[in-house]
Structure 1
Amino acid sequence: MHARFIAVTLASLSLASQALAWGCFGQDCNQAANQIAFSAPQAESHSGKTKASAWEPTPGQGWQWASCGTGDEVVDIDSIVVSPDPPVPGQNLTVRAKGTVKDEVSDGTFADVVVKLGLIRLLARRFDVCEQAREANAEIQCPISAGDYELEQTVALPREIPPGKFNVHVTGQNQDGSNLLCLDLSIQFGFRR
């Protein structure tokens, strides 16, 4: 369940980076974002060394997350680990998440995702959580029972992600109107190698 939310978030990041790189905005980007987020091309191998720059994130510090909720949310995230860290544009990113779902999640549940590059808002989008899980043929499908979950999801990051720090804010509501989750992510991308 939690990896699914992270995958949705990364799909938003993919969509935002495509919008920034290609000037793609609106409904035309939806299909591209899903293709980018849920396909898995072979990771490229890079040989040779490059100089580090101010844009190069420190290994193990390219990804940060924090719960911004009050503790009464339906989804309580314990941990999120990404590999590689820092994420690399044009390569696969594997997200492993652990947490607890406190109440059933079913149709009518949505997540709101806002992606910013620095202070510039790139994307604000609402996702139907159950519909996204069905379309991606996710491991867990709605209705999702209360319980502890540990999931893994691999997404392909587009090569066009520009260097910089992306900030992602995720909130949502469960089908009964209760708060689904509140999550802040910070993802630092360096220059492509």
Structure 2
Amino acid sequence: MYFPKAALLAAALSPLAASALAFTRPDLVLNGESPVFTQSRWSWTDCGLPSDGVHIKSIEVTPDPPKPGQDLTVKVIATSDKEITEGAYADVTVKLGLIKLLKKQFDICEEARNANATIQCPIKGGDHEVVQTVALPREIPRAKFMVDVKGYTADDEDLVCVKLNVDFMLGHNLW
């Protein structure tokens, strides 16, 4: 996944979680005939401080809830209180319960360049809207995932903090 700007850290959370969790696993089938459908849910929390450089106002996903095997469009509206420059980065952790599945650091500006994003570093302060579309893998395990994203400036100052919960558990109506 690519993060076109600091605010996109949050936007990329759901797609990143899905990509990070794309283990090879065939769809579950009951009685050899009926596929099991997921009942996907997600939520987000701004875990940042008032002194952080980026404040997430909203995160919207389409479709809502996200569906494995389909494109997911994420729209984030955020305000940046300061300019975001080369060297800004994000630490992303994906967990399944207490088990850490992924821990990776992303260079925000490099990811924006690689994605050919419309917003590039340096990113001026102000209000920003970022839209990103990604293909969700069909093989997302049926489980509840927690995604933590903590962004930092090039000077290691807190930039943004977002926690996502993504639920791809089996639905209750299997017949």
- Structure with more of its chain in strand, by fraction: 2
Are residues 7 and 150 of structure 1, via their aligned partners in 2, closer, same or farther at CA, if it must alter by over 3 Å? closer
Tell me the residue number matched to 2:71: 92
Q: Where in structure 2 are the equivalents of 1:1-193 lying within 5 Å?
A: 1=5, 4-10=8-14, 12-18=16-22, 20-21=23-24, 56-57=39-40, 62-190=41-169
TM-score by length of 2: 0.81
CA-based RMSD: 2.3
CA shift at 1:184, angstroms? 0.3
Percent identity between matched residues is 46
- TM norm structure 1: 0.74
Q: 1:51 to 1:8 in 2, by over 3 A?
A: closer
Distance (whole Å) between structure 2 residues aligned to residue 177 and residue 150 of structure 1: 24
Contact 2:39 2:168 in 1 (8 A): yes
Q: Residue type of the partner of 2:8?
A: R
Instruction: Name the aligned partner's letter for residue 24 of structure 2.
Output: A
The CA distance in 1 between the partners of 2:78 and 2:20, in whole Å, is: 27
Q: Distance in 1 between matches of 2:67 and 2:75?
A: 17
- The one-letter amino acid of 2:111's match is Q
Indicate the SS of the match to 2:76: strand
Q: 2 CA distance for matches of 1:124 and 1:10?
A: 15
Unmatched 5+ stretches in structure 1: 23-49
Task: Write the deviation string for residues 88-116 of structure 1: whole angstroms up to 9, x where unpaired.
Answer: 11110011111101101011000000001
- Aligned-partner SS, 1:183: strand
TM-fit CA distance, 1:6: 3.3
Q: Distance in 2 between the 1:133 and 1:8 partners?
A: 12
Q: Conserved in 1, the CA contact under 8 Å of 2:151 and 2:158?
A: yes
SS of corresponding position for 2:24:
helix
Match of 2:31 in 1: none
| 1:2 positional shift | 5.4
Paired residue total:
159
5+ residue gaps, structure 2, are 26-33
Q: CA deviation at 1:137?
A: 0.6
Cα distance in 1 for partners of 2:78, 2:159 equals 13
The question of whether the paired residues in 2 share the 8 Å contact of 1:3 and 1:95 is answered with no
